[in-house]
Each structure stands twice: as structure tokens, then as C-alpha cells.
Amino acid sequence: MNKFWLVILLIIAWACGPGSGNSTYQSLSDADQAKFEKYMILGKEVYSSKCSNCHQIDGKGLQGLIPPLATSDYLQNNQSAIPCLLKAGSKDSLIVNGRSYPPQMPAHDISNLELAEVITYINNSWNNEYGFMPVRKVDEILRECD
């Protein structure tokens, strides 16, 4: 029964997937396109369980308290800092779209693969087009975290 729903889900995801509109997707090899699609589905699950309480389902955050992920210059311009930020949290204020947010990003117990999935999901949801984050890149970046 579960398998049946998974197949249905995958078909729906394939049919409504990131496909033609997203320039990141179009620039990938066939193998990476398949990975990208999988990351988008699994990344959404990671997002729902670890991120959306604060950043909200629509990625808009909360007023001046929790920064938006949908249309975020910080996210766009600091891709190589994001895996470390998600994993270790931050005790510094963050400036997003010209506005300062309080230092409240908690550390997360999260695997490298989950990081790759959720960052790819955030990078390519809500009209964001901030690129594909494969797990090999997360591995590389995490070795360099402070």
C-alpha cells in the first residue's frame, strides 16, 4: 500500500516537477537532473520537519524576527556558508535584504545528504533560482567550516 502511494507521489512529482521553468535544472546533466528531482522531493520533507516551524511553509519567515528564505540576497550570495550555518547554527545577527535579524539560528542534527536535499529545495522553491547543491559539494564545504 505504501509502495503504491510512493509511486503515485513520484509520478505527480515528475509531472509537476521543476522541469522546464527552472534554469538551474536545465543546466544540469541527465544524471544530475534525476538527482535534483529526488532532492526536491526529499528536501521538502526535511524542510517540513526541521525548518518550516520558523521560516514557514511559504519561506517568508516572520516579520523582523525570522528572515525570509523566499527571495533572500543572503541565501543567494552566501551559498558556501549555508551548509555550515544550517549544521552549526549562528550566534551572529544576519543581514538579509538589508535588514538585520536576531541571532537565533539553532544548530541542527542533520546529515550531509539531508543538507544537500534541503538546500537544493530552498534554493529552488518560491521562485528562487539559487542553484543545485549536490552532496559532494556539501561534503567539501563542511570540511572548511570554522
Partner 1 sequence: MKNLFITFLFATLIASCNNNSSQKLPILGRHEYLETESGTDTVYHTIKPFSFVDQDSSVITNDTYNGKIYVTDFFFTSCPSICPIMKVQMLRVYNEFNADSTVMLLSHTIDPEYDNVEILHNYATRMEVNSSKWHFVTGEKNKIYDMAQTSYYIATRENESAPGGYEHSGAFILVDNLRRIRGVYDGTKAEAVDELMNDIKTLLVEVNE
Residues in contact with partner 1 by CB under 8 A are 53-54, 56, 62-66, 102, 104, 106
Q: Report in angstroms how near the CB of residue 92 gets to partner 1 at its nearest.
A: 17
Nearer to partner 1, 20 or 63 (CB): 63
Task: Name the minimum Å distance from CB 106 to partner 1.
Answer: 6
Residues 124, 27, 115: CA angle, nearest 5 degrees: 40
Which of 127, 140, 138, 129 is closest to 46 using CA atoms? 138
Q: Residues 101, 67: contact at Cβ < 8 Å?
A: yes
Minimum gap (Å) between residue 56 Cβ and partner 1: 6
Nearer to partner 1, 21 or 102 (CB): 102
**How many CB atoms within 10 Å of residue 133?**
27
